[in-house]
Chains A and B, each alone.
Chain A
Amino acid sequence: MNLLIKNGRVIDPAGKTDKKLDILVENGHIAKIASDIRNEADFKVIDASGLIVCPGFIDIHTHLREPGLEQKETIDSGSRAAARGGFTSIACMANTDPVNDNRSVTEFIIARARQVGLVNVFPIAAISLGLKGEKLVEMEDLVRGGAVAFSDDGCCVMQADLIRKALEYSKMLGVPIIEHPEDHTISAEGQVNEGFISYKYGLRGILNAAEEVIVARDIILQDRIRSKLHLTHISTAGAIELIRKAKKDAIPLSVDVTPHHLLLNEECITTYDPNFKVKPPLRTEKDRRALLEAVIDGTVDCIASDHAPHTRDDKDKEFEYAPFGVIGLETTFPILFDRLVRSSTISINRLVELLSSNPARVLNLADRGRIKKGFPADLTIIDPEASFTIEVENFNSKARNCPFQGWSGQGDIAFTIAGGRLVYDRLAKRH
């Protein structure tokens, strides 16, 4: 499909562009960026007057559940949710069934995503076979098969020696290790942040130290190894302090935070609603403010949704028996735009950087996260004036486990264009 996007405010943080420009999309790629391009070839025109055109968003941390857990989400439904949320690329975690610890699963995910044909799906392979934390996967074979990173995610590698070897071995591949920092010997059967709230409500706690011990361990290892390390969904003030110091000491490291940790705190669990049960747990207000500060001052590199779909029945349980996780692909942008950009906490340019150019850099997606001639036309177009109300029943995702149900605000995705194809149009009939 060929497109001409007219009169939009083009924001390309990596190219330091922020001005009114037209963009010509030809054969899936960006053919021309200039002011006032004439529609000589009778291309379909998108009138972007009053809208913001930015590089397509990239989610560094998604769970698509296929293969194996298709009742929760599929590559198809997850791709449609991504398109609805302005994400043109999503990186999906390895905890499928079977686990993505071998090339055949990676290739299956890529093939399915191509069949679906909506957004780019980049598989993240496991670090260890079966996520067991014992034996390394065949990293080079997986990278050749299309894996863009390695992570055991929720099954954080407990053996310091294994994470050392993973960092060392992956260094020759240049591919990041993504760590979900959680010391399971400390978090154990914890359900919520440990502190006054967990004590009062009689729920087993997860100390902030469970996260910080692993962050410290990884920073110390990384200081020597200098591979590519990314710490995902950081949730505590203490972890932020360790990361800030490590970055000051020029230890190679990148981090992401999630919208729910930026906007919610542990008070949400006082009604025992499993839609607020997530790992890491929602923390204290002090932690939340520290994350926000780190987003403002540049310590945080990316925003990740940690989209973790579960069925209605999975979550309709006693708090303790419900699984961890919330979904976020369809709410990340509108919620953050309304709560952070409209409140002038951060600029739109910074939000776009957190959602596009920075994740592209972390995942080595050389031709994404930019609006540049010759690059694939992955573009997200924002209507800053559109009002929204989060209604889970309207989601494209199969799941409904969203902690922002009922939130309203202003600023939503108007169009999502992936590989030059219009994959979401807010005003069109729902996809």
Chain B
Amino acid sequence: MTATAFKQNHLLGIEHLQAREIDLILDTADSFVEVSNRDIKKVPALKGKTVVNLFFENSTRTRSSFEIAAKRLSADIINFSSSASSLKKGETLKDTVLTLEAMNPHIIVIRHSASGSPLYLTTFARSSIINAGDGFHEHPTQALLDALTIRQRLGRLRGLKIAIIGDILHSRVARSNIFLHQKMKNEIVLIGPPSLVPAEFCALGATVCHDIRAGVKNADVVMMLRVQEERGARNYFPSIREYRRLFAINREIFALAKKEAIVMHPGPINRDVEIDTSMADGSESVILEQVNNGIAVRMAVLYLLKGDQRHESAD
């Protein structure tokens, strides 16, 4: 496990990573899984480093996951969320970040509803930036923890058929997963109504399909996305009732996938909306393993970035 092999200063997305960098993050995460299984779940790797969790969107799981990851690496972490922030007083994102940077953090973890915000931060900030979800764009640590879970359960990350089902148009989880599995040369099928899965997604190296049965057939991984009522209100589909009938996963449809296939969900799940409740709790469901792996993956990312670039560039 060597951090010097990782040349990135930031983790803004999966799009710009190479396959071997993804493998390196996952290998590093494997060793941190072991740390999380110990009685004393702490290593001194990032002692003396400061991580800022800068969250402009509600998030419990991702924020907590980064917080626990940083603490298990002995980093100091502070949480800065929009409800308590000065953004409500009309401060710009740039001023907020410059103010935080004046306190010399090493790493800033940002979640923001506007796509591209993490990249924007790198144009003026000195800290390493980790994207914890930007708009509809990317959510790289989610795709990485998904990949780690797939590797654990299926023993490999290549030569797979990945079916992603739901609101692809508005999903940063889908985009990061598409980029990741395209790099791993896996077959990707995107499933949902045409209003939420435009045909142009084919150009990203995926197949677009509007029939869940055809799409799930022979899949190794069935990845469900959360469907939001709001999309129904905006007529992306007529009703949750009809959506469920056409695009929810249940045992009958899942039986079309490969025998050892797994079902995933980034959470939070809508029981009996996009996923049949018995499936969510079944042995093929890896939903809670995904949450657990989130900590190891985020430890790996924090460890590999270390927030050292500001000091190196100052030399």
Contacts and interface: CB of A to CB of B under 8 A. Distances in A.
A318 B204 contact: no
Interface string A309-325: 00001001111110000
A202 B198 contact: no
A318 B201 CA distance: 25
A195 interface: yes
Q: Give the most central of A271, A320, A321: most B CB within 10 Å.
A: A320
A199 B198 contact: yes
Contacts of A195: 200
Interface string B116-156: 11011000000000000011111000000000000000000
Interface in A120-136: none
A69 B126 CA distance: 34
Interface in B85-99: 92-94
Interface in B255-280: none
A199 B115 CA distance: 11
A318 B93 contact: yes
Interface in B2-43: none
Interface residues on A, range: 10 to 19
B203 A201 contact: no
B117 A202 contact: no
B112 to A, nearest CB: 7
A196 B200 contact: yes
Nearest to B116: A272
B137 A202 contact: yes
Nearest to B124: A316
B204 A200 contact: yes
A202 B175 contact: yes
A203 interface: yes
A202 B136 contact: yes
If over half of B's interface residues share one DSSP class (helix, strand or loop), that class is named, otherwise mixed; here it is: mixed
Contact of B136 (A203, A272, A318): A203
A173 B201 CA distance: 50
B169 interface: yes
A275 to B, nearest CB: 12
Contacts of A201: 115-116, 137
A30 to B, nearest CB: 50
A202 B119 contact: no
B63 interface: no
Contact of A313 (B92, B138, B201): B92
A271 B200 contact: no
A316 B95 CA distance: 11
Contacts of B135: 202-203, 320
Contacts of A318: 93, 112, 114, 116-117, 120
A318 B116 CA distance: 7
A271 B112 contact: no
A271 B92 contact: no
Contacts of A317: 92-94, 120
Given A199-B201, A202-B136, A203-B136, A319 B116 contact: yes
A321 B112 CA distance: 12
Contacts of A319: 114-117, 120
Nearest to A200: B204
A203 B201 contact: no
Interface string B195-223: 00010110110000000000000000000
B101 to A, nearest CB: 16
A321 B114 CA distance: 8
B245 to A, nearest CB: 26
Interface string A167-202: 000000000000000000000000000011001111
Interface of A: 195-196, 199-204, 271-272, 313, 316-321
28 contacts: A195-B200, A196-B204, A199-B204, A201-B115, A201-B116, A202-B115, A202-B116, A202-B134, A202-B135, A203-B116, A203-B136, A204-B136, A272-B115, A272-B116, A272-B119, A272-B120, A316-B92, A317-B92, A317-B93, A317-B94, A317-B120, A318-B114, A319-B114, A319-B115, A319-B120, A320-B114, A320-B115, A320-B135
Given A200-B203, A202-B136, 12 more contacts: A195-B200, A196-B200, A196-B204, A200-B175, A201-B137, A202-B115, A202-B172, A203-B115, A203-B135, A272-B119, A313-B92, A318-B114
A-B interface, 5 closest residue pairs, ranked by CB to CB distance from nearest: A272-B116, A202-B137, A202-B136, A318-B114, A320-B114
